Every structure is written in structure tokens, then in C-alpha cells.
């Protein structure tokens, strides 16, 4: 989780695993000099930023080398590069809603106590938890000390990351979290709800009463800390985040979330809820959010939406939290799209559809790694190759409904999906998918004891497949 002042520049762990569409693939990791890195660390050790970090703590967790991949991630933010329908599909789908409903039931007592203490609606806390770590299922695997040290010494925002590097060392030094648990996103966010170290020191709470603020292993601590964060950012108890609305005929306007108006203003303009019902009276004021322009879904959003936004400064990100929280509250996972369709003829895919695409690619001879429903850079390379082989132009590598229908229609006698779950109109978004990196997509042909591998650059290689490869 990043402070508002810089979150527009760097993403957090939603980022844990998100990657761009093929046209916006993450850049190659740069070369980083280890000697330069170690010289930088020598300078940091004795700097004022690291005052309060003991020499032994600094040296105990000093990285032996930089991690170039975090610099590549620094210069790629999916919140700002993906179409909103693809971004939402990566974070809100049938599976995630069902996981959220289960989490609500399992954590009901804890959530009630959190809501009573901090005034933050349980479902809003769950929305953050679901978007940030898929309810604790995806915490991130990057070593925080190596990531933050690298970001402290190379590229931009070094001053900010040096502060977070020092804060991460203080957390371990204070005994709140074991060093082995200090793993998370490339940017340094960690735990069930992905706090940055500085935010942890300021706002993390011990809610389970064990004397430690453990956002990694303690769900009560993580959820209560999230509620505390939202409360400190101006959350208004008893107010919704906003609602999807119907724009009146002839209205002309632009995205203006921060230009809050009274609800009577919007009623007088002819706005209604998206289903035609009158606007409620439970928001003191609201701004107009048009994530895809006037032709897509429209929203009136209040102060609580702004607190979601403060977690990671992206309107798409905040909308994902808001939408997921609504679906968890209604306990309806059968329809995860909005009432108004996105202005696209190629909406996103469900995670089940993503798995079927991956299996289809494997069946067609593309080695994309395991079938996990995760559409990442290298799966997109395989999609692009498949599109080219079928004469699809442009070959954009995107896993949308059009590609899903293309590859499933070419499976022949292979196992087919149950199409009955995909019979919504093409103009409507489907249940959504999750995205992350996976192994390199390559065209393969099976041989006895070996296989021919045609890599993305066209080079032919022979790889042994016997004796465990």
C-alpha cells in the first residue's frame, strides 16, 4: 500500500501478480552493477535515514546482490495501462466473490468487533483484503530487504524507498514480524492487506492481543489495521462508497470524482440508479466517476470511495474494492458485471475460461507452463503466436472473449467447456480473470526423449525430456 502522494507512480501488490496486456508488457529487467549496489548500501548504513537501525540489523539483512526485476516493475503500473474492463476482470470474478463470502462467514465475529471499534463496514474491509491478496492466498514472494534496497539505490524515487527500507528493518528489529515473513510485492508491500513498512509503523494494530502487530500471520491484526487505515483517511461510518447510476439523456460531462455535489444536484440533473430507481439519500455528496467515458458504466462516488483510492491512488483500483465489497455483501456470485456494459465487443474472461485457454494452447503445442488460470506475459506471447498462425490481425496477445471463442472453436475432438456458462452477450463483461506472470510461451513438438522448442525469437532448440529434463 502506497501513500497517496506517490502511489500514482508505483503500484503495490495488487501488483503482487498483475501484468500488462501484450501491448503493454512489462519491460525487460535492466543490468545493475553489484559493486555500485554495495557502495550505495555502505553509504546508506551511516545515513540519517537509517538512524534507529542498528548496525547488526542492517548487516544481518543486507542483500548480497540487487534484484533488477523490481526496476522493471517500477516502470510498469497495470492500474494505469490496462483497459478498465480488463483490470476489473483481473480482480473481481465469481471465484473471488465466493472466497469473500466464505471469509465473511468465517471471520464474522472478528469483523463485527472491527466494525464496532473503527466504524468501517465489514464488507469494505473484505474488499481491500480480496483485492490486495485474494484473501491471504497471494502474499507475494519478493524478499522485501532485497527489493527495497535495490529501489533505494537505482532509478527513481530513491528517497522514498530508502525510508521504506529503513522502516522494514525497524519492523524486524522491533520483533513484530520475523525476517523470514518479510516477503511481499516488488514495491515492498507485505502482509494480508499489503501495507508498506512506513504505513505499518504508523497504523498497524495488535487486534488479537498477542503483543505483536503481525499482518502476515494474524488475520485479525491485518483486517483491523486496514480498518484503522481507512478510518484515519476519513472514512464515514454508515455511508456507502457510492452506486452505479444511469446518465440522463442529453447529459454532457466528464470524469470528475473529486468535484463533489449534493445528491439533490444529481437528482435535479435527472440521474437515477442504474436500474432506474431514484437516487438514495444516504450520501452527503458525490462526484461523477466515468472510468470508460459516457458510454460505459457510470458511478456517483462519495468519501468512502476516496478512502479506497488513498490505499493505492488508482480509480480503477478503488472501483475494484467497491465492486467486490458490494458483491460480497449481496452474496451473489452469479453476476459480477455492472448493469451497464463496458464499451467493448471483447470483454474479459473468467478464471475458468483462462484455464481453458491455457489448456487449449498446451493442446495446440505451446508450452506455457502449468494451467493455473493466470494469463501473464509469456502466455500472452503464446496467444500472439497462435493468433498469427490463424491469420488474426492484429495479433495482440490478449486473452479476451474473442480469443477464447477462437481457440475453443479449434479444439476439435478435445475436451470442450460447458458453454452454457458463457452465453451472455458479447457486449457484456463476463465473469472475470486474474493475471500474473508465468513461464515463457513456446511452440513445441514432442520427440522421443527430447522435444524441439521454437522460442519467441524463432530459434530452434532441442531439450531433453527424459531423466527429469
Per-residue pLDDT reduced to its tens digit, 151-180: 999 999 999 999 999 999 999 999 999 999
Q: What is the mean pLDDT of residues 9-29?
A: 42
To the nearest whole percent, how much of the chain has pLDDT over 70? 81
Domain-embedded: residue 276 = no
Is the CB of residue 13 less than 8 Å from the CB of residue 184?
Answer: yes
pLDDT at residue number 339: 97
The answer to the question of residue 109 being in a domain is no
Query: Pairing relation of β-strands 298-301 and 242-246?
Result: antiparallel
One-character DSSP codes across 383-450: HHHHHHHTT-SS-----SHHHHHHHHTT-TTS----GGGG-S-TTS--S--B----PPPEEEEEETTE
Q: What pLDDT does 26 receive?
A: 55
What pLDDT is stored for residue 433 in this prediction? 36
Tens of pLDDT, residues 449-461:
333 333 333 333 3
Q: What pairs with residue 286 in β-bridges? A: 261
Candidate from 224-238, 323-337, 373-387 with smallest mean pLDDT: 373-387
Assign 410 a pLDDT band (cuts: 50, 70, 90): confident
- Of 333, 367, 339, which is closest to residue 352 (Cα–Cα)? 333
| Residue 414 maps to a domain | yes
Task: Tell whether the model's pLDDT for residue 145 goes beyond 50.
Answer: yes
Average pLDDT rounded to a whole number, residues 341-369: 91
Count of structural domains within the chain: 1
Confidence of residue 351 (pLDDT cuts 50, 70, 90): confident
Please write the tens of the pLDDT for every residue from 281-311.
Answer: 999 999 999 999 999 999 999 999 999 999 9
The residue among 166, 172, 165, 167 whose CA lies nearest residue 146 is 165
**Residue among 262, 257, 261 at smallest CA distance from 313:** 257
pLDDT of residue 8: 36
Predicted local distance difference test score (pLDDT) of residue 78:
52
For residue 9, with 0-12 CB atoms within 10 Å meaning exposed, 13-18 middle and 19 or more buried, which class applies? middle
3-state secondary structure of 47: coil
Output the pLDDT for position 90: 81
Q: Is residue 371 part of a domain?
A: yes
Average pLDDT over residues 416-443: 33
Residue 391 lies in a domain: yes
Residue 459: partners with Cβ closer than 8 Å, 6 or more residues away: none
Provide the total of helices (H) and of strands (E) in the chain, helices listed first: 19, 11
Residues contacting 355, CB < 8 A, separation 6+: 371, 372, 373
Q: Is the pLDDT of residue 15 over 70?
A: no
Determine the structural domain holding residue 455 and report its residue range: 351-460
The model's confidence at residue 85, banded by pLDDT at 50, 70 and 90, is very high
pLDDT over threshold 60, residue 373: yes
- On the 0-12 / 13-18 / 19+ scale of CB atoms within 10 A, 105 is exposed
Sign of the dihedral through C-alpha 131, 291, 85, 300: positive
pLDDT of 378 > 80? The answer is no
Q: Is the peptide bond before 394 cis (omega within 30 degrees of 0)?
A: yes
| Predicted confidence (pLDDT) per residue in 244-282, tens digit | 999 999 998 889 999 999 999 999 999 999 999 999 999
Residue with cell 432506474: 276
Domain assignment of residue 410, yes or no = yes
User: Which stretch of DSSP H or E encloses residue 246?
Assistant: strand 242-246
| pLDDT attached to residue 25 | 53
From 341, 354, 455, select the one nearest 398 (Cα to Cα).
Answer: 354
- Whether residue 361 is contained in a domain is answered as yes
Under DSSP, the state recorded for 374 is B
54: number of Cβ within 10 Å:
12
Would you say residue 242 has pLDDT above 50?
A: yes
Q: Is residue 453 part of a domain?
A: yes
Listed ranges 12-16, 109-113, 444-448; the one with the highest mean pLDDT: 109-113
Question: What are the respective helix, strand and coil percentages of the chain, to the nearest 5?
Answer: 45, 10, 45
Identify the CA nearest to 99 among candidates 416, 331, 322. Answer: 331
> What average pLDDT score do residues 341-370 get?
91
Q: For residue 211, which of 221, 219, 224 has the smallest C-alpha distance?
A: 221
DSSP-derived pairing of the beta strands 272-273 and 242-246:
antiparallel
Amino acid at each position: 500500500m502506497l501513500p497517496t502522494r506517490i502511489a500514482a507512480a508505483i503500484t503495490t501488490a495488487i501488483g503482487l501478480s498483475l501484468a500488462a496486456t501484450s501491448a503493454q508488457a512489462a519491460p525487460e529487467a535492466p543490468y545493475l552493477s553489484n559493486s555500485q549496489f554495495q557502495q550505495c548500501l555502505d553509504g546508506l548504513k551511516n545515513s540519517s535515514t537509517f538512524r534507529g537501525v542498528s548496525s547488526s540489523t542492517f548487516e544481518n539483512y543486507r542483500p548480497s546482490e540487487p534484484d533488477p526485476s523490481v526496476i522493471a516493475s517500477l516502470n510498469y503500473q497495470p492500474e494505469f495501462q490496462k483497459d478498465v474492463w480488463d483490470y476489473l476482470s483481473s480482480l473481481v470474478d465469481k471465484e473471488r466473490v465466493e472466497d469473500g463470502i466464505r471469509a465473511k462467514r468465517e471471520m464474522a465475529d472478528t469483523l463485527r468487533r472491527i466494525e464496532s471499534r473503527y466504524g468501517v463496514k465489514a464488507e469494505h474491509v473484505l474488499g481491500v483484503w480480496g483485492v490486495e491478496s485474494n484473501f491471504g492466498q497471494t502474499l507475494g514472494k519478493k524478499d522485501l530487504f532485497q527489493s527495497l534496497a535495490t529501489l533505494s539505490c537505482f532509478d527513481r524515487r530513491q528517497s522514498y524507498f530508502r525510508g521504506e527500507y529503513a522502516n522494514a528493518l525497524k519492523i524486524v528489529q522491533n520483533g513484530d514480524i520475523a525476517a523470514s515473513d518479510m516477503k511481499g510485492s516488488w514495491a515492498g508491500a507485505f502482509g494480508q492487506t499489503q501495507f508498506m513498512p512506513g504505513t505499518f509503523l504508523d497504523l498497524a494494530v495488535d487486534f488479537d492481543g498477542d503483543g505483536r502487530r503481525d499482518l502476515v500471520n494474524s488475520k485479525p491484526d491485518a483486517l483491523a489495521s486496514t480498518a484503522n487505515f481507512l478510518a484515519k483517511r476519513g472514512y464515514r461510518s454508515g455511508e456507502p462508497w457510492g452506486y452505479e447510476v444511469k446518465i440522463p439523456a442529453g447529459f454532457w460531462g466528464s470524469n470528475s470524482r473529486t468535484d463533489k455535489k449534493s445528491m439533490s444536484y444529481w437528482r435535479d440533473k435527472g440521474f437515477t440508479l442504474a436500474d432506474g430507481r431514484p437516487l438514495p439519500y444516504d450520501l452527503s455528496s458525490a462526484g461523477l466517476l466515468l472510468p470508460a467515458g459516457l458510454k460505459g458504466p457510470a458511478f456517483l462516488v462519495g468519501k468512502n470511495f476516496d478512502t479506497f483510492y488513498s490505499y493505492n491512488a488508482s480509480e480503477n483500483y478503488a472501483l475494484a474494492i467497491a465492486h467486490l465489497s458490494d458483491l460480497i455483501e449481496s452474496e451473489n456470485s452469479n453476476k459480477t458485471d455492472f448493469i451497464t456494459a463496458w464499451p467493448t465487443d471483447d470483454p474479459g474472461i473468467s478464471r475458468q475460461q483462462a484455464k481453458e485457454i491455457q489448456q487449449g494452447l498446451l493442446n495446440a503445442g505451446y508450452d506455457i507452463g502449468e494451467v493455473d488460470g493466470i494469463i501473464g506475459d509469456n502466455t500472452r506471447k503464446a496467444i500472439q503466436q497462435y493468433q498469427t498462425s490463424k491469420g488474426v490481425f492484429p495479433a495482440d496477445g490478449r486473452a479476451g472473449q474473442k480469443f477464447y471463442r477462437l481457440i475453443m472453436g479449434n479444439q476439435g475432438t478435445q475436451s470442450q467447456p460447458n458453454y452454457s456458462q458463457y452465453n451472455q452477450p458479447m457486449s457484456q463483461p463476463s465473469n472475470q480473470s486474474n493475471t500474473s506472470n508465468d513461464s515463457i510461451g513456446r511452440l513445441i513438438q514432442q520427440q522421443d526423449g527430447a522435444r524441439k522448442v521454437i522460442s519467441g525469437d524463432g530459434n530452434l532448440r532441442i531439450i531433453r525430456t527424459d531423466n527429469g529434463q
